[in-house]
């Protein structure tokens, strides 16, 4: 089963917030099984802008390297993902960027790794691994 990271899940890992150990274990398991985690290019951009805004260009470049070193595949958004994200946005109170992580999860019949409570409204639509 494919596992999808949203920006929140990765930021928990990166900043060693509560839930860090669970995300770390999931990343390690993905590496062992040679089964990459997925993240949309939109959610990758969300991580990038947060780091850039809070810590500057050098740290953003460093984090880019961290992502590339991990078993994480960045999935470019296509019309199928965009359409499903649009459906989630139109029918739920959830941020637009989060809709892309949810859409990738639904399309892949996967599991979303997050601690972002905003996803609670989608628990009947997608599988969620809560990290905190």
CATH class of 3-130: alpha beta
Contact 60, 44 (CB under 8 A): no
Digit-coded pLDDT (tens) for 68-122: 999 999 999 999 999 999 999 999 999 999 999 999 999 999 999 999 999 999 9
Digit-coded pLDDT (tens) for 47-68: 999 999 999 999 999 999 999 9
In this prediction, residue 23 has a pLDDT band, given cuts at 50, 70 and 90, of very high
Domain boundaries, the chain: 3-130
């Amino acid at each position: 089963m494919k596992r999808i990271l949203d920006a929140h899940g990765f930021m928990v890992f990166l900043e060693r917030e509560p839930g860090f150990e669970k995300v770390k274990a999931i990343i390690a398991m993905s590496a062992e099984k040679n089964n990459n985690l997925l993240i949309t290019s939109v959610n990758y951009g969300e991580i990038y802008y947060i780091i850039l805004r809070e810590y500057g260009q050098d740290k953003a470049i460093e984090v880019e390297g961290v992502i590339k070193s991990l078993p994480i595949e960045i999935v470019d958004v296509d019309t199928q993902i965009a359409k499903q994200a649009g459906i989630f946005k139109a029918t739920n109170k959830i941020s637009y960027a989060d809709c892309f992580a949810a859409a990738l999860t639904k399309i892949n019949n996967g599991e979303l790794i997050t601690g972002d409570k905003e996803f609670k409204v989608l628990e009947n639509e997608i599988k969620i691994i809560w990290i905190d």
